Chain A
């Protein structure tokens, strides 16, 4: 299976007042086409920063210091980290899209749902919309009506728009109050798409919801709209950063069922980020476990739960509360990333830590079939 996204030695550092936080310290990850990869780890292990780094959206004071992110698109492989901003803007929302943890915070409170969702179509599907508007204009012109003059004008505006969407002439034209009524046709066309995509998200009565403002929506409804925005242009990769953590259990079940359904329908692969091992078991094909800025283990989901190799993964699985059994704890605290421990970052808390672990940093090696681990306990890792 072809790799859709491969990350190699990704390094991201945050230059904060207290010191330089080494949030991501050499992450290696690959996501196959049509697959759902779960990215699991505790708070502060850098899983969200990794996802933002893929879209080159790391917030200040963070900087991507090194590594590569290779994306397989229709037009061949693309190295994301070295692209110009203009190219990246074309990819974001079209090839890769992202949904976030707090649904209501992801929606702009002063715009209606329709305005925000249609923005994706205006950005990435403008030619298609123009063609549909032109088609509409053609049959309007065929009918006898005094407005033929206006339709002719609108037709050549849209012709120009479909050739070169953001020519400066159009930009000025769209600023003049009366003249820019021509945009209404475009908005109506986009409105149809919005209602269609909202319907796909199983939102009851999409027409009414399209006109609502974000503060009138419940948590579950807001998350569906964010998913609609993300899947609007049928992206190849959907990055979901803990979409259901803030939602109640029953709503979470609804959203997970929806993602599972849409995954098939849109045939898009998903990078699902969470700290909840139950959701991972429910949704993911392969799992990557992260700890303090490194990916420590990648394997198929059955393999991970049955035979976890890395001490941290097994400790994480054991700490899942099981009735009747004592709670297994992982001693110590998550290390501060300003002065991370030398060598393997888990060694202060690792029960099987050896002398080597606190000196040399292990590398991610394929220890068994399709099972990568980053630990000195396994040969090949301590090259």
Chain B
């Protein structure tokens, strides 16, 4: 785990070297006034941005460890603060997507494997292949235009006009920054409903691709599990078909699906960027997309590092879950 993280920072640093020193200065700036030409030259001198790469790396790395990822022009705040302020929106989106993805994905995967080559199998496979061939941003915009433009339901953005104003006002105490939970904590149901209404379309868009992927993986591992020896043994013991599938086959089929969920998390992070940009959800994804557009190097690289850390820790959790599910790993 640690070497991968170290490697990740090295890679990020390598990417920074592609830029000229002036723009790289943004990585070391802590307050907005420093964007004047003289201030940047002074920073170039102080941090020795023209020296050879390895010397800079130690300085940059110590800065990063101190938590100074530079200043983001687009976010008009130090990168670390900008990220922290934007995380709740993304977490909210991901929080509502994951249960759908996991439950529906596994359910459909099992169903289509059990009824192999029957209508339900072809439909699920067809839908799942279509799901994974749909450009998510195109789907998002089509849904928006149909529902928002057409029926004036599920508008983009995180909260409706009035709800947004109320949340900004100090009458509303922000515990976690996640609207739905804060609304409940504050006992404001109408804000909760408003937040949910805004969340429907992004959740649909973000989970279609992921569900398509899980259904395909689950189906193939389920098919593999179904013709193993212990399934025939279970049937020979007199177990009903339902128990054979749900107890014996499904638990074994889950193992390969869990190991591949690392790719799922990567897909999730990518999806977040696009979904937030389409629906105007100002989470971490949308901010980094805008930063990339406006050549705000510090923001983009800060976000990349953040995403790397999230991804590596998520993979670690997946490995632990994997060891829990598969006894062969746990005792080895």
A contact residues vs B (CB 8 Å cutoff): 52, 55, 57, 59, 85-86, 89-94, 97-98, 100, 102, 105-112, 119-120, 123-124, 213, 215-216, 226, 229-230
Contacts and interface: CB of A to CB of B under 8 A. Distances in A.
Interface in B246-300: 248, 251-252, 255
A92 B331 contact: no
Contact of B229 (A85, A102, A110): A102
A348 to B, nearest CB: 33
B252 A93 contact: no
Interface of B is mostly: helix
B240 A57 contact: no
Contacts of B331: 213, 216
Interface of B: 227-230, 232-241, 248, 251-252, 255, 325-328, 331
Q: Which 10 A-B pairs have the closest CB atoms?
A: A105-B229, A93-B238, A92-B238, A108-B230, A106-B233, A93-B237, A98-B236, A213-B327, A89-B238, A106-B229
Contacts of B230: 105-109
A146 to B, nearest CB: 35
Contact of B251 (A105, A110, A229): A110
A97 B237 contact: yes
A59 B231 CA distance: 11
Contacts of B326: 109-110
Given A59-B232, A107-B230, A108-B230, A123 B237 contact: yes
B197 to A, nearest CB: 33
Contact of A213 (B236, B239, B255, B328): B328
A123 B251 contact: no
A55 B248 CA distance: 20
Contacts of A107: 230, 233
A176 B326 CA distance: 24
B238 A57 contact: no
Contacts of A213: 327-328, 331
Nearest to B116: A60
A229 B230 CA distance: 12
B235 to A, nearest CB: 5
Given A108-B252, A110-B325, A110-B326, A229 B232 contact: no
Contacts of A120: 237-238
A98 B235 CA distance: 10
